[in-house]
C-alpha cells in the first residue's frame, strides 16, 4: 500500500485479526476526504511508541503538481503552542526562570498600572487576562493578515499600549494568542539567545530536523506545502501569508518529525524523560487544570486524552493523545475545505471501541418547579456576566448567545429542557435563574435579570463619539429615524445597532456594555468580541444628564437659558409635541445664575435638579424644584454650604428622592491658595424636599 508504514508485530498486538479491515477503513476515509489533485492531507498514527500508520494524500503545490510526501513541511498553527510551552518548561527545569515569575521581570514595559502578579504560567494556560492581539487588530479594522511584515515586536508594541487586563490573572480561562507571543521574548531573555536560534537547537535535540518557526514570510522553506482555499466558487486560490509572526503558531514541520515527537512522548516514562512527562500534565499551582503546557487536558470521545488543534488561513492541524491507550493521532493539511479535528475524530472512532459514560448530573436537575414558557423567557447573566437570551417564538424556546443563531430547547419534563444540538446538555429553569447541567456533574448557574427596555431618552444618551486610548481607535453612535447606528472607520456606511436592553448593545459580533457614572450619564462602552473582553471606549462627546422625559403625547424638557447680557441664567421647562413644537413653558430662577441638568418624573409632577447662585448659602448650591404636571412650582429647596455644590441627577426612593451631585471641600475659607477637592455628593430628601441625610463618596476632581 503506497505511503503506508506497517510494523507487523504491532499490528498483531494492536489491530489483531481485524487489521486489514481497520486499515482499509482508514484509507477509505482519507480517500473520501481529498483527491490526488486537491491540496493535501497528512495523517500519522503512533501506538505503544511505534509508528503504525503514515499516509500522504494530495498536492503541496497546485501550480507545479507537486505531491506531498514525507519531506513536505506544513504549518501546524496553534498546535505549535505545545513546543513554545515545552521550551519554557525546559528553562524552568534548568532553573533559568520560574513559572511563578511575574512576566514584567522579563518584559518591564507591560502593564505598569496593573498591581496583580501576571505569572509566566498564566501566559501558558491562557489565564493571564491579556487580550488577544489578533482580535485587538480586528477591532481596529486592520486585521493581522493584511499587515505585511507584521512580527512579534509589532504585536508586543500593541500590547504595551494596553492599560488594563480583561480580568484578574488566574481568575478565569480565556484563550489568547498574546501569551505565546510574549513567551517567545521571555525565552530569549531567560536563555540569552535569539528565539529562532534557541528553538532550532531545541528541535534538533528532539530529533526534529525539519521543524522550525517562521522568521520571514519571504524566506524559502524547503518542501513547503502552500496554503489553498476554495471560497465557494470551485476555484482554488493560494491564501496570502505575509506576516512574520511565530511562537503562538507558524511552525513549519513534517509529519515524520511530528510522529518522532509522538514516539518520544509515548516512550517518556520508559526513558524517564522528566521534561516530556511533565509537559503532558497540568501546570503546577495552576487555578485551571483543563489546559496545560500548550495542550488541552480534557476527555475526547469519553477517553482520557491530551490534545490541541490549530488553524491559520488555509493551514490546520490536530493532535490527539489517548493516554491510557498509548495511542496518538496526528493530522495536518494545507486544504481549507478539510478539518483536521474532524478527521482525527473519525480515525479514532475506527480504532477505539465506542465508550459511553453514564451521566452523573448535579442533583438540582431533579428539582421540579412549574414554570410557564412566558416566565422562563428573558435575559440571564452567567457567572462571568455574559448575557444570554431565552427567547419564545411560535410556542418554542431557544437559547441565544450574542449574535449567534438561536439553539432550540426541547422540553423533557416540566422545567427541564435539552439543547437540540447536544441532548446531554440540560437546561433547568427555576425561580429567577436557569442552570446549565453537564453530564459530568458540572453545573453553571445563570441569574435572571429584569429586562429594562431602552427608551428614546436612553437611545439619545448613547449618541456620541467613543475612543479607546489603548487602540487609538474610535467609533460613533448616531440616532437616525429612531434607530441607533454605529459607524467605524473602514466601513462604507453605518450599521444598525441591536438593542438587547438599556445596558447592552450588539453590532454583529461586537457586544457593547454601557458604562454610566454616579450620575447615570453614559460615559463609555466596554467592547467584547471573541477573545477580547471589556475593551474600554471612553465617551468624548454628548456627556449629558437627563434633560428630557418622554410622555405619551410628546416630551417634557428642561434647559438653561442665559439673559441677554449674559450676567444671569434661568431654568426653562417646556412641554412639547412629538415633532418638538412647544405646547407650554415655565421659567424659574432668581437674580443670578440658575442652571438645570436633569428632570425626573414623579406620580404627581416633576423634579428639576440643578444648581443656583441666586438662592442658598454659598457661591453655588444644589437646587431642586418640584412642579405639578402642568409645570407649576409646588416647592423649591437648596442644599449646600459655603462653597460650590451642584445637582446633576436624581432617583426616586421609597421615602422620597436621592439627589446626586458634587460638593466642594476646602482647607479654609480665607486663603486664596487653599487646596480644594470636589467630591461626589449624594443627598437623600423626603417627598417635601426636606434633607434626611447626605454622604460624600469619592474625589472626582
At 373 the pLDDT is 82
Lowest mean pLDDT among 180-189, 371-380, 474-483, 519-528: 371-380
At 19 the pLDDT is 57
CA dist 294 and 325 (Å) reads 21
Residue range 382-405: mean pLDDT, rounded? 92
Grid coordinates representing 57? 494524500
| DSSP annotation string for 595-649 | EEEEEEE-SSEEEEEEEESSSSSSSBEEEEEEEETT--EEEEEEE--SSBEEEEE
Query: How confident is the model over 14-41, as pLDDT tens digits?
Result: 444 445 788 889 999 999 999 999 999 9
Between helices 81-93 and 195-205, what is the axis angle to 10°?
Answer: 90
Which of 218, 213, 235 is closest to 39 using CA atoms?
A: 235
Residue range 174-197: mean pLDDT, rounded? 98
Lowest mean pLDDT among 171-175, 184-188, 231-235, 313-317: 231-235
**456-539: CATH topology:** Lipocalin (2.40.128)
Q: Does residue 8 register a pLDDT over 50? A: no
- Which contiguous run of DSSP H or E holds residue 138? helix 133-139
Q: Does residue 9 register a pLDDT over 50? A: no
For all residues of the chain together, what is the average pLDDT?
Answer: 93
CA dist 304 and 290 (Å) reads 12
Q: What is the dihedral of CA 510, 516, 521, 526, to 10 degrees?
A: -20
One fold for 363-449 and 456-539 = yes
Contact, 190 vs 197, CB < 8 A? no
| Domain ranges, ordered by start, for the chain | 1-32, 56-266, 363-449, 456-539, 548-699
Query: How confident is the model over 593-611, as pLDDT tens digits?
Result: 999 999 999 999 999 999 9
Query: How confident is the model over 329-379, as pLDDT tens digits?
Result: 999 999 999 999 999 999 999 999 999 888 999 999 999 887 788 889 999
Which of 422, 388, 423 is closest to 406 using CA atoms?
A: 388
At 368 the pLDDT is 86
- Report the b/e string of 20-41 with b at 16+ CB within 10 A: eebbebbbeebeebbeeebbbb
pTM of the predicted protein model? 0.89
| 3-state DSSP assignment of residue 459 | helix
At 169 the pLDDT is 98
Lowest mean pLDDT among 86-90, 135-139, 364-368, 669-673: 669-673
Supply the DSSP symbol for 365.
Answer: G
The CA radius of gyration of the chain, in Å to the nearest whole number, is: 32
Residue range 449-457: mean pLDDT, rounded? 90
Cell 513536505, residue located:
72
Residues 6+ apart with CB under 8 A from 326: 47, 48, 49, 266
Of the pLDDT bands very low, low, confident and very high (cuts 50, 70, 90), residue 676 is: confident
Q: Are strands 548-551 and 554-562 parallel, antiparallel or unpaired?
A: antiparallel
Grid coordinates representing 374? 412566558
| DSSP annotation string for 151-210 | BHHHHHHHHHT--S-SS-TTS-----THHHHHHHHHHHHHHTS-HHHHHHHHHHHTT-TT
More confident residue, 544 or 695: 695
CA dist 495 and 486 (Å) reads 5
Of the pLDDT bands very low, low, confident and very high (cuts 50, 70, 90), residue 175 is: very high
Q: What is the architecture, at CATH level 2, of domain 363-449?
A: Beta Barrel (2.40)
Residue range 184-206: mean pLDDT, rounded? 98
Of the pLDDT bands very low, low, confident and very high (cuts 50, 70, 90), residue 688 is: very high
Q: Which CATH number fits domain 56-266: 3.40.50.261, 1.10.1660.10, 3.40.710.10, 3.40.430.10?
A: 3.40.710.10
Amino acid at each position: 500500500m503506497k505511503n503506508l508504514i506497517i510494523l507487523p508485530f504491532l499490528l498483531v498486538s494492536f489491530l489483531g485479526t481485524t487489521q486489514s479491515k481497520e486499515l482499509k477503513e482508514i484509507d477509505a476515509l482519507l480517500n473520501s476526504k481529498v483527491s490526488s489533485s486537491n491540496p493535501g492531507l497528512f495523517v500519522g498514527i503512533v501506538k505503544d511508541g511505534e509508528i503504525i500508520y503514515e499516509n500522504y494524500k494530495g498536492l503541496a503545490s497546485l501550480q507545479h503538481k507537486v505531491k506531498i510526501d514525507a519531506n513536505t513541511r506544513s504549518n501546524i498553527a496553534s498546535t505549535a503552542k505545545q513546543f513554545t510551552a515545552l521550551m519554557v518548561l525546559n528553562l524552568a527545569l534548568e532553573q533559568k526562570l520560574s513559572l511563578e515569575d511575574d512576566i514584567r521581570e522579563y518584559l518591564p514595559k507591560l502593564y505598569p498600572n496593573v498591581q496583580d502578579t501576571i505569572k509566566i504560567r498564566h501566559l501558558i494556560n491562557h489565564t493571564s487576562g491579556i487580550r488577544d492581539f489578533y482580535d485587538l487588530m480586528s477591532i481596529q479594522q486592520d486585521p493581522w493578515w493584511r499587515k505585511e511584515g507584521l512580527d512579534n515586536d509589532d504585536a508586543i508594541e500593541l500590547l504595551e499600549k494596553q492599560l488594563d487586563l480583561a480580568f484578574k490573572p488566574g481568575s478565569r480561562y480565556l484563550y489568547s494568542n498574546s501569551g505565546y507571543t510574549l513567551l517567545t521574548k521571555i525565552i530569549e531573555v531567560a536563555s540569552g539567545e535569539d528565539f529562532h536560534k534557541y528553538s532550532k537547537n531545541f528541535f534538533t535535540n528532539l530529533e526534529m530536523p525539519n521543524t522550525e518557526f517562521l522568521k520571514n514570510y519571504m524566506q524559502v522553506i524547503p518542501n513547503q506545502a502552500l496554503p489553498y482555499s476554495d471560497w465557494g466558487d470551485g476555484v482554488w486560490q493560494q491564501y496570502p501569508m505575509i506576516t512574520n509572526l511565530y511562537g503562538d503558531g507558524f511552525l513549519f514541520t513534517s509529519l515524520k518529525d511530528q510522529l518522532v515527537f509522538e514516539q518520544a512522548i509515548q516512550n517518556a516514562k520508559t526513558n524517564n524523560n522528566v521534561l516530556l512527562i511533565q509537559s503532558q500534565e497540568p501546570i503546577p499551582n495552576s487555578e485551571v487544570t483543563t489546559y496545560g503546557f500548550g495542550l488541552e487536558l480534557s476527555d475526547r470521545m469519553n477517553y482520557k486524552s491530551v490534545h490541541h488543534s490549530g488553524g491559520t488561513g488555509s493551514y490546520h492541524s490536530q493532535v490527539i493523545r489517548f493516554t491510557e491507550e498509548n495511542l496518538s493521532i496526528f493530522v495536518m493539511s494545507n486544504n481549507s475545505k478539510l478539518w483536521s479535528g474532524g478527521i482525527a475524530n473519525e480515525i479514532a472512532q475506527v480504532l477505539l471501541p465506542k465508550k459511553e459514560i453514564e451521566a452523573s448530573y448535579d442533583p438540582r436537575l431533579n428539582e421540579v418547579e412549574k414554570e410557564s414558557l412566558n416566565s422562563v423567557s428573558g435575559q440571564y447573566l452567567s457567572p462571568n456576566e455574559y448575557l444570554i437570551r431565552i427567547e419564545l417564538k411560535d410556542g418554542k424556546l431557544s437559547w441565544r448567545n450574542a449574535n449567534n443563531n438561536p439553539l432550540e430547547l426541547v422540553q423533557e419534563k416540566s422545567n427541564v429542557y435539552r439543547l437540540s444540538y447536544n441532548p446531554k446538555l440540560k437546561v433547568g429553569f427555576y425561580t429567577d435563574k436557569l442552570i446549565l447541567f453537564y453530564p459530568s456533574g458540572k453545573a453553571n448557574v445563570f441569574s435572571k435579570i429584569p429586562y429594562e427596555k431602552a427608551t428614546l431618552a436612553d437611545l439619545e444618551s448613547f449618541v456620541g463619539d467613543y475612543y479607546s486610548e489603548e487602540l487609538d481607535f474610535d467609533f460613533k453612535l448616531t440616532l437616525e429615524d429612531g434607530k441607533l447606528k454605529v459607524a467605524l472607520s473602514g466601513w462604507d456606511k453605518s450599521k444598525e445597532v441591536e438593542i438587547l436592553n438599556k445596558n447592552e448593545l450588539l453590532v454583529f459580533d461586537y457586544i457593547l456594555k454601557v458604562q454610566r457614572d454616579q450620575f447615570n450619564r453614559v460615559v463609555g462602552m466596554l467592547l467584547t468580541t471573541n477573545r477580547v473582553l471589556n475593551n474600554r471606549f471612553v465617551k468624548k462627546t454628548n456627556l449629558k444628564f437627563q434633560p428630557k422625559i418622554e410622555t405619551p403625547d410628546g416630551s417634557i424638557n428642561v434647559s438653561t437659558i442665559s439673559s441677554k447680557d449674559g450676567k444671569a441664567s434661568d431654568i426653562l421647562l417646556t412641554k412639547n409635541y412629538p415633532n418638538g413644537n412647544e405646547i407650554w413653558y415655565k421659567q424659574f430662577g432668581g437674580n443670578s445664575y440658575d442652571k438645570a441638568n436633569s428632570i425626573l418624573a414623579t406620580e404627581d409632577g416633576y423634579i428639576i435638579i440643578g444648581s443656583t447662585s441666586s438662592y442658598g448659602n454659598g457661591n453655588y448650591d444644589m437646587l431642586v424644584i418640584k412642579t405639578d404636571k402642568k409645570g407649576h412650582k409646588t416647592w423649591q429647596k437648596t442644599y449646600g454650604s459655603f462653597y460650590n455644590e451642584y445637582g446633576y441627577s436624581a432617583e426616586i426612593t421609597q421615602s422620597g428622592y436621592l439627589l446626586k451631585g458634587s460638593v466642594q471641600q476646602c482647607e479654609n475659607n480665607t486663603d486664596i491658595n487653599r487646596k480644594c477637592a470636589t467630591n461626589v455628593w449624594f443627598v437623600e430628601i423626603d417627598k417635601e424636599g426636606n434633607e434626611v441625610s447626605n454622604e460624600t463618596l469619592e474625589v472626582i476632581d
